[in-house]
Amino acid sequence: MKKRQLGSSDLFVSELGLGCMSLGTDSMKVQEIIHAALDEGINYFDTADLYDFGENEQIVGKALKSVRDKVIIATKAGNRWNENKDSWYWDPSKKHIKEAVKASLSRLGTDYIDLYQLHGGTIEDPIDETIEAFDELKKEGLIRYYGISSIRPNVIREYVNKSNIVSVMIQYSMLDRRPEEEVLPLLEQHGISAVTRGPLAKGLLSEKMLEKASEKGYQDYKLNELQEMIPLLREKLSHERSMTEIALQYNLANSAVSSVIAGASSIAQVKENAKAVQGKSLSKDELSLIQSITKANVYDQHK
């Protein structure tokens, strides 16, 4: 599998990363899926301290222990479970981040994290303090690099201008083209990589397509719009390739994107996603066609 440089770092990440949130807590099954990912050439694994109350980090770390020096482990911090563990709250303070990293290191069973990410963020945060925490962790050798996970252009802009982030994880797909207008150009201009999540738009762009459709629609698409547009995309584009391949290749066609993060709950899904990423790149005509059929959505509420 091809690899791309992550921002200005010396990390080279596989074009497909494994999103670990949906792996579950069956340790044996998780190990099988992760080993299948490794066999496909995936070297980038994304988790967070929020997932399964930290158990996800523990299981992922255990599964990757024997190949630790060959993989890139990314995790996140900033959300904290309450005492009852029935909801969480936001805490981007320096104190919390410096405590959270130690807990993540312990659960992952490693002495460093390749990419440590702020798991959200608002413009009201103490951003300078948060950046200070990440910079100190890097100097201390506990993390190699840091980034943020955000869909807020104004927050992203603050970190681009003030910090040493190497990546921004952002939701992006043919049905959510919001990053194209301002975020992706901004990142590329500053040599910062986009790591994209949600490329299959909750399954709407997978082979299951409209089976995954909700009465609520998706983003600013109403259900009836999806019912018209998704079959049209398939008719115009997927003669020789799957919808999954078209969806993942759409993300990879943007030069700001280093890796597409896709979850998997089975070995078959890992293999399908890996095959899709290793398929043929979309042509300019195909990209133009997709963009003529789909909406050029823009951010309105997430500033």
> Which sequence positions are flagged as catalytic?
51
83 contacts: CB under 8 Å, gap ≥ 6: none
Q: Reduced to 3 states, what is the DSSP secondary structure of residue 89?
A: strand
User: In terms of DSSP H, where are the helices of the chain?
Assistant: 27-39, 55-64, 94-108, 127-139, 153-162, 183-189, 223-237, 243-252, 267-277, 284-293
Q: Judge whether 290 and 237 are in contact, CB under 8 Å.
A: yes
Instruction: Report the candidate in 180, 131, 136 with the shortest Cα–Cα distance to residue 155.
Output: 131
How open is the CA angle 145-148-154, to the nearest 5 degrees? Answer: 135
Integer Cα distance of 169 and 147 in angstroms: 8
Q: Judge whether 151 and 299 are in contact, CB under 8 Å.
A: yes
Integer Cα distance of 23 and 42 in angstroms: 16
For tokens 């089975």, what's the residue? 266
